[in-house]
Amino acid sequence: MSNSFHVLLMGGDARYIEMVNTLSKKEIYTTLVGWEKITFPSKKVTKQTLNQIDFSTFDAIMLPVSGTNEHGEIELAPYTTEKLVLTKDMLQKTKESCVIYTGVSTPSLDKLTSSTNKKLVCLFQRDDLAILNSIPTAEGTLQIAMEQMDVTVHSSSVLVLGFGRVGLTVARVFRAVGGDVTVGIRSSTNAARVHEMGMNSLFTEELEQNVGAFQLIINTIPHLILDSPVISNMNEETVIIDLASKPGGTDFSYAKKKEITAIHALGIPGNVAPKTAGKVIADVFLDQLKLNDSK
C-alpha cells in the first residue's frame, strides 16, 4: 500500500476513535466527515464537511458499522450535527478503484454501490471480526441483564435464541456466571454441541409452548421470532434483550402492550468497550486493505 493511500471516514461512534488513531499510526491519510466535536493530533488526519469533500481523491470510504438507512442516511454519527447522506452522485465521483467499507450492509447500500459499480466490503461478514466483536457484545448484554432483572443472573433461567457467532459467546458468558442456560436451535447438530457444552437446548419450533419457563430471553436471530403468540405465553416478569440488527427479532410494540420489558440493544461494543471493539475493527480493516492491495 502506498503512503498516499487516502481513506474517507463518514460518521461512526466511539469505536472509530481507535480506528482513526490506528490508521494515523500506519501513516494512512484519513479525512473525517461528521467529527467536528472530536480533535485528533495527527497531521495525517483532517476534518471536513460534506460540501467540502472532493470524492475523487479517496481510495476507500469507511462507513459506520450499521451502514446507511433506507434513505442513504448515516445514523451512527454522534460527533456531529451535520446530516450525513451518501448519494449516488458522490460515489460516481470517486476513483474507479475506490472500495466502500461498512460493518453490515442494508438494501439501500447494496443498491447504491451496485448502481455505481462500486465494490462493497462488509467487515462483519468476516468470522474473525464477528467472533471478536461478540466478546464485548456478550459482556454488555450481561451488564444490561444485571441492570434490568430483580434477581441474580446466577441460577436464573436464560434462553439464548440463535447459536451463531454471537449466540455462542453469549451462551458461554451467561453459563459462566451461573445462569441456567438453554439455547434455541434449529438442528440436531447444534443440539449435540449445546449438550457437550453443558447447556440445555430447545428447538425454535417449540418456543411458543415453552417460553413461559424463562426469566431472561436473549435474541440473536435477525428475523421476527418473538412474535405476539410467543410473547403472549411469556411470564410478565420476563426480560427480553434483543441483539439482532434492525428491525430485530421481537414484536416490541406487542411486548410493550403486554408490559414485558424488551430492549433492542444495538451497538453494545461501542457503548461498553469502544477501545477494544475499535481496535478489532481497525485491525481487520487494515488486513482487508492489504488483501485489496495485493490483487
pLDDT, tens digit, for every residue of 244-283? 988 899 999 999 999 999 999 999 999 999 999 999 999 9
User: Where does the pLDDT of residue 290 fall: very low under 50, low under 70, confident under 90, or very high at 90 and above?
Assistant: confident
Strands (E), the chain: 6-10, 29-33, 45-48, 60-62, 99-102, 119-122, 157-161, 180-185, 200-203, 216-219, 239-242, 261-264
> Would you list the domain boundaries of the chain?
6-125+273-293, 133-264
Please determine, for residue 3, whether its predicted confidence score (pLDDT) is greater than 70: no
Q: Which long-range contacts (CB under 8 A, 24 or more apart) does 190-198 make?
A: 190/163, 193/163, 194/163, 197/171, 197/172
Q: What is the mean pLDDT of the chain?
A: 94
What pLDDT is recorded for position 70?
87
User: pTM for this one?
Assistant: 0.88
Q: What is the mean pLDDT of residues 155-173?
A: 97
**291: pLDDT strictly greater than 90:** no
pLDDT class of 4 with cuts at 50, 70, 90: confident
Share of the chain above pLDDT 90, in %: 91
**C-alpha–C-alpha distance, residues 92 and 71, integer Å:** 17
> In CATH terms, is domain 6-125+273-293 a member of 3.40.50.720?
yes
Q: Is the dihedral of CA 263, 267, 269, 273 positive or negative?
A: negative
Looking at the predicted structure, is the pLDDT value of residue 1 above 70? no
Distance from CA of residue 239 to its chain's centroid? 21
Q: What is the pLDDT of residue 86?
A: 95
The x, y and z cell numbers of residue 67, run together, are: 451502514
Domain 133-264 has CATH 3.40.1180.10: no
d(CA 104, CA 124): 6
The model's pLDDT over 196-253, given as tens digits with 9 standing for 90+, comes to 999 999 999 999 999 999 999 999 999 999 999 999 999 999 999 999 988 899 999 9
* Mean pLDDT, residues 116-124: 96
- Asked if pLDDT for residue 292 goes beyond 70, the answer is no
**pLDDT at residue 294 above 80?**
no
Say which amino acid occupies 28.
I
With a cut of 90, say whether residue 75 has pLDDT above it: no
